[in-house]
């Protein structure tokens, strides 16, 4: 969804250089077009939760099988994260 893409970009993929950001956006278009695979949907523990209102989330998994595409995506901490990195899954 657009919200997922926007949050990902704000949290882990925002660059200072406009041309580098445009290249990154193109690469992210390729990744997010699949929609990913939902791995969790539901309640999350959050200090803002109350008896009458609580936070829920959806976690999606995106596989990037193309090493060249992964290399085009530079991750870094953003406004709500201190760091971001890729993990290899075998």
- C-beta separation of 64 from 42 below 8 A: no
Q: pTM for the whole thing?
A: 0.68
Tell me which residue of 66, 67, 79 sits closest to 9, measured CA to CA: 79
Write out pLDDT tens, residues 17-59: 888 888 888 888 888 888 899 999 999 999 999 999 999 999 9
CA distance 9 to 48: 24
Q: Note the pLDDT of residue 45.
A: 96
């Amino acid at each position: 969804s657009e919200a997922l893409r926007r949050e990902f970009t704000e949290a882990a993929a925002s660059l200072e250089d406009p041309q580098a950001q445009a290249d990154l956006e193109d690469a992210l278009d390729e990744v997010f077009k699949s929609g990913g695979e939902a791995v969790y949907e539901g309640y999350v523990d959050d200090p803002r939760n109350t008896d009458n209102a609580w936070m829920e989330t959806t976690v999606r998994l995106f596989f990037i099988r193309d090493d060249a595409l992964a290399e085009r995506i530079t991750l870094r901490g953003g406004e709500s994260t201190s760091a971001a990195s890729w993990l290899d899954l075998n």
